Chains A and B, each alone.
Chain A
Amino acid sequence: VLIPISLYVSIEVVKLGQIYFIHNDLDLYNQQLDSRIQCRALNITEDLGQIQYLFSDKTGTLTENKMVFRRCSIYGVEYPHEENARRLEVYEADRSEEGSGRSVTLQSGRSRSLSCRHSSVSLHTLTAEEEEEELTNHSQPSTRAFCSRVAKEVLPDPELVRKLNWFLSPALALSDGSSGAPSSLELTYITDFFLALAICNSVVVSSASQPRHVVREEQTSLKSLEEIKTMFQRLSFSPFSALSILSPPQIKASPHSLAHRMFARGKTGSLDFPPSSNSTTDESESSLEGTLETSSLRPKPDLSSRVMEGNSGQTAGREVKDDVIDSKTDGARQDAEDLTLEEDCKSEADEELLYEAESPDEAALVYAAQAYCCTLRGRSAESLTVDLPGIGSLSVPLLHILPFDSDRKKMSVVVRHPLTGQVVVYTKGADSAIMDLTGAPKGADEAQEIYRHIREQTQNHLDSYAREGLRTLCIAKKVLEEEELEISLTLLGSTGIVDRLQEEVPETIEALQKAGIKVWILTGDKKETAVNIAYACKLLGPNDQLLTASCESKDACAALLLELQLEVDRSGVPAAGNPGKCRSDGGAGFILKSQVVRLVRDQLAVMTLAVGDGANDVSMIQVADVGIGISGQEGMQAVMSSDFAISRFKHLRKLLLVHGHWCYARLANMILYFIYKNVMFVNLLFWYQFFCGFSGSVMTNAWVLILFNLLFTSVPPLLCGVLDQHTAAHTLMQLPQLYSASKVSVPHMFWVTVLDAFYQSLVCFFVPYCAFAGSSVSVLSFGSPINASALLIILLHQVIESPTLTWIHALVWLLSAASYFGFVLLFESGDVTLCSGGFAGGNNDDGGGPAEGGR
């Protein structure tokens, strides 16, 4: 009676209840973001318990997506930034401590120690501390996730600082890189490098006191620069054929009138700077850059005096400027220089600057540049304000921005160089994109030789960065002469940015693998980076055999993948804990991700789960059986298309191992119980057919029949599906192996349940039958004790079957039984004229007694 519909409805209600509990789980709540898990799909809770393949994005999913500048290579020279690395390690150690202890005193202590080490940026530390306090109080969600303290503070490399300090020497020629001495060429590279870091981005600057004083307008490119825009687009796509398209008049017409003035000003400024007072710069700035905010104008005299001090203090260092190795020995002096430089920065950074970037990489690079006193101060549609070490604030006329896009994998800015007045293109992008475009500059053989050396070194450094798991970017520039155009870019250097793993990622992946889930990471990174990350998050163990497959086209890749997967499956390698590990080539990007997921899902017929945080993961999330979005730094697209949205990767562990397991087991048991209940009850009616000539007559009131599933026994299965805990949560967390062991043997359990129901209904029917045989019992009097005993036995059955009994269970059973007896009494006494047989006659006895005993 009513099996399909009521079962369907019950399943839906049970899933709703399961979602309710998942949604309210404290362990899936992220204090820092003040976000719970979002359950966007209400009907796939049981799928969480049957996942066999897990596909994960890397950036932002496994990692924080909080980029921190780690090291860089300029002019083919590596600057390891060891201090910086040590600081990061200290921070991580602290954080893990915090994870275990989580005490306020510990946090404040750590903050203080950092501020001691870093007295020059105490203001930063202070605000960071506040931020930390906020986080611990979890009173307000942090809106400045990008500007975490770690990302903002970059300890400069002493070697690089020393070289920068030489640059402060007024005697140095700044103008032309190619004509200078090798060391000055290197210095030019260094300054250009940091200038590129500071300006080649779309970062919006704001300060704590005045939030976002310059509104960035992406669309307002100068109309007169349309030609350059087109030129650059052509250039970037087909650099070697671009020359013919460009004609001198176009380039000549390009500079804006304002740009002309700026050019002139910049030139004079750069030439006049060392002797001249700052007031001229101030005036020219205020007059020419009226649009810039006043807050970008710092107390200049103070700065200049400090700069002069620094210069005077460095006269000793200048003597050894040509010999890097010699100067290295002079450690003490170097420290002194560091201090002066930091002092400089400090005075300028009185007002805290906040950078908001489209991607965390950009912010990290800008902060890195800031650490070398190359500070981005403000941004307007036409110009950027940049502090340069030893020079002070400069306005860099911004001619055009070619924003980042994933096809080109690079972005460029076209500016008029404030010092040389040349039109310069700074380009930042993936190494694959940049390295191809860099060519030897025109000039002497010697210069070409040097440049080739730089390229080789930089490439070596890039490879080593990738092996460390760093994200690599290349910085290049090109000087656009008014008439001539150089095709090849000049490689300045490269950066390595570290993106730390989220907390508990290795543990989570380890647990998931123990649970029998095959974890794949789909990433567009370099192979070395991907392998390194895989080791870091324990996806690959030290003993695992690494199979590497590479292919050219998408189709070939798909075929290869499948072959590889089948191979891996057949050879039983996964048993040793070696999951498939896939590197999708960045070019095909997100389409390939979804193809990989679809391939595995369809060909292997397995339950797949995809987890990702960015827009490029959307297709993968949609294709997988269960899509999980990580609400992180890359917008809401992944969350919007996901079934569940979590905030940290580690939440997957409890979501799958505990909630998935529970939901799956609960739903399975609920359905079994539901089938039992109905088979048991309907069979009572079936047995009666033997005694009514198979006429289809029932011994029960029609209303009781209807309400039996609808009311009297409707809630107990729901309890079974929502509340039961076959295994405790902590046990499931500790023993991930239980996840795969939870798969119940469905046909076996089903038939056992049905047989049990048959047996119970036999007892329930034939005990009253024998007791009433031959007596004067009427139809409904005969049915009443059968129904009552069946109901009680169905409820008692749950007592035996249910692993956990709470007061809710007791209440529900009481109400269920009471509702039956109440209904029968009320209905039949109130309506005795129409329905006979409320009270069992003289021969009535409780048939339930022996039946219960028979159980």
Chain B
Amino acid sequence: MSTIAHPSPSNNPQSSLSFPRETFAKLSPHPYLLAHLTPSPSKRANSRSTAQFRTPHINNGSLTHAEGSAVVRVGDTTVVCGIRGEILLASDVPNYRVTTGAVGSGLEEQGAEEEAKDLDLLVPNIELSTGCSPQFLPGQAPGTLAQSLSTRVYSLLHSSRIIDNEELRIWYEPPDLSALGSNREDESMEDSEDSEEEDKPKREIKAFWTLYIDILFISLDGNPFDAAWASVLSALRDVRLPHAYWDPDREMVLCSDSISKSKKLTLRGCPVASSAVVFRAKEKRVSKGEEKYWVLVDPDTFEEGLCDECVTVVVDCTGGVVKVLGIEKVGGTVVGREEIRRIVRIAEERWKEVSSLIEA
């Protein structure tokens, strides 16, 4: 069972003292990786360069029962994301004040900034206990890694505001019955124009779409956050919500199953996440003196196990303007401002590659 998946023809004759590469990697992983990185140009144990990502492959629409779905493969990490839409009635929301507004009146935006977050309309969940890796066996409740990944996806979804609140609302416009009354009174035609605005029934929000975003890891080989976020983005782009309307006779929300009336979600922007870990030459911390370090982009399980410090950068370059949506850095003090600048530039390159795949 080898941790590194590439064949390596050895030029040296097999003497009794030398091991095959896989055994060496298992017995002393830190010197193994250090031996790869020390000569310049540095190559990693998986024969990528330090700033090279794995090629992603994205597949959409493979799940029948999900409104949107995506399967993302980045190297050996495979993620399946399925999005299902369910209906939340406005009457079921505690403390909800009915929002009304005529079309185009801007009243809709008032107080609606945090609507998706307050009402919990986007529900992402990451499931790692699927046997994707020997340390994630099923039957266990979500551990630290799964919970923190779910929370990071949740906060990125809301802070990036890629889904407009309007997309998730189901409006109801009561039919205008005032026309029936005014036919009998012809002399009040002048008055009726003024009072038409007040008598005309306002449309109101009757229900909301709730999107359950379920992310399952089929296989994990390092860097779960990037793959999970890419799958969420790609699945959101694939979502097709049926046309929903309030039926006043039955007093329930019904959906129409014709494809021509269904609509795809319009997303604002396309943020892409890139992660990197920092590998230090000395395992023990040295308090003074320069020590050598390498920033390894898109780590796999082997490299993640040897590094403490981790940086994640989320950028969005739609429209040619680079926007940094988030920088997370934990675990050490090696990476400073210059290094972060370099990582952001690498993340911009990655954005071009991933966004062209997602938008295709």
Q: Do A and B bind each other?
A: no
